[in-house]
Amino acid sequence: MSEDASGKAPGPDASPSRSDSRRGGDAAADSSSFQAHVRAARSEFESQIERARVEFEEANERLNARSGRNLLVATLIGLAIGAVVLGSLLFWKWAFIAFAVPLCLMGALEFTRALQAAGRRIDLAAQLSAGVLVLGAAFVGYLTQWFVIFAAVVLVVVWRLVAQMAAHDGRRYGDVVSDVLASGLIQLYVVFHGSLALVILRQDHGELWLLAVLVIAVAVDTGAYASGVALGRHPMAPRISPNKTWEGFGGAVVASLVAGGLLGVLMLQIPLWAGLILGLAILVSATVGDLGESLIKRDLGIKDMSSFLPGHGGVLDRLDSILPSLVPGLALYILLNPLSALT
């Protein structure tokens, strides 16, 4: 065995120490390489997330520009309202009253403010007071309800005439007539139609029929919008609503038939043909209501009745197709409910 200069043999741990040093260096290099790989992967992931966010925002902006609304906000608000309506009608139908009555009065308020902004003289206190009476009368007999509706229209008309006589401001006869007609229109268009929802609600299984009417009306709007955005080329009524197309109307027809048929058979338990009739009736009323309110807003020179619901406009902008649909909804309940297996 060889000896070193001190006369001692080299220690047995000399070679392993050099090996450990090399292994330590290799481990450090591997750790550094792994960290670099992790940083690169994280950077790539963050870059992909950023690209996806930018692409989503660009697509959302294109949709918003085409629809004129913030679709994300509108969708979230729509889902929240839908959850309230669905929950109340399916679990305890009388809870729907706490939602429907303020909504209807809010619609009357919006219509009043829009007409006032256009120069019409409308008495808000009279409108809301009469509205409460009409909505309350929805829970009594039909004859009494008709009498209350007539009395409500008389109330707002007389109130406006008395207020005008007290003003002594020389307002033109034609403007006074327009004020009176507009006052009556609010009660008939908003409050009377809204009260029909409560009339349907108080019937046997009325909550299911009311839900069916609401769902079909929403399906008509959704089908018209989706097909109009995707395929719309030929304007339906350019002077009234330039964005509505015949392709959109075709989508509304399909949506109304599908929704009416499915809801009729599965929920209302009426024959398929009766469900299709319900769907077509709501299609016509919803389309007429949508175009009718578009005509009113065009005449008033406004885009929305208010900005109460972000992404939607006002309450009345969401009720434009629903309010008129309550008329055929009630009529078809009377005619078709005897065919239901629920009775």
Q: What percent of the chain has pLDDT over 70?
A: 83
Beta bridge partners of 313: 309
Mean pLDDT along residues 79-84: 84
Regarding predicted confidence, which is higher, 209 or 39?
209
- Per-residue pLDDT at 146 exceeds 80: yes
Exposed / middle / buried, residue 114 (Cβ in 10 Å: 0-12, 13-18, 19+): buried
> Which range (6-15, 133-142, 237-246) has the least confidence?
6-15
Q: How many structural domains does the chain have?
A: 1
Residue 332: per-residue pLDDT: 96
Distance CA 69, CA 77 (A): 13
Ramachandran region of residue 191, left (φ > 0), alpha (ψ -120 to 50) or beta? alpha
Residue 26: per-residue pLDDT: 59
Mean pLDDT along residues 245-272: 94
Q: How confident is the model at residue 223 (pLDDT cuts 50, 70, 90)?
A: very high
- Per-residue pLDDT at 196 exceeds 90: yes
Mean pLDDT along residues 302-321: 81
- Per-residue pLDDT at 1 exceeds 50: no
Q: Is residue 25 part of a domain?
A: no
Q: Which two tokens stand for residue 75?
A: 């969708």
Q: Is residue 118 part of a domain?
A: yes
- Per-residue pLDDT at 236 exceeds 70: yes
| DSSP class of 79 | H
| DSSP class of 181 | H
Q: Is residue 219 part of a domain?
A: yes
**Among the residues of the chain, which ranges form H helices?**
14-67, 71-91, 95-117, 124-136, 142-167, 173-186, 193-201, 206-231, 246-266, 272-300, 315-319, 322-336
pLDDT tens-digit series, residues 175-185: 999 999 999 99
Q: Is residue 13 part of a domain?
A: no
Q: Is residue 52 part of a domain?
A: no
Q: Is residue 20 part of a domain?
A: no
Q: Is residue 200 part of a domain?
A: yes
CB atoms within 10 A of CB 188: 13
Look-up: residue for tokens 């018209």? 224
- Per-residue pLDDT at 20 exceeds 60: no
Residue 330: per-residue pLDDT: 96
Q: How confident is the model at residue 205 (pLDDT cuts 50, 70, 90)?
A: very high
Q: What percent of the chain has pLDDT over 90?
A: 51
pTM of the model as a whole: 0.77
Q: Which two tokens stand for residue 309?
A: 């619901």
Q: Is residue 327 part of a domain?
A: yes
Distance CA 68, CA 81 (A): 21
Mean pLDDT along residues 255-281: 96
Structural domain span for residue 265: 71-339
Report which of 155, 150, 149 is spatially closest to residue 195, judged by C-alpha positions. 149
Mean pLDDT along residues 322-338: 95
Residue 323: per-residue pLDDT: 95
- Per-residue pLDDT at 230 exceeds 90: no
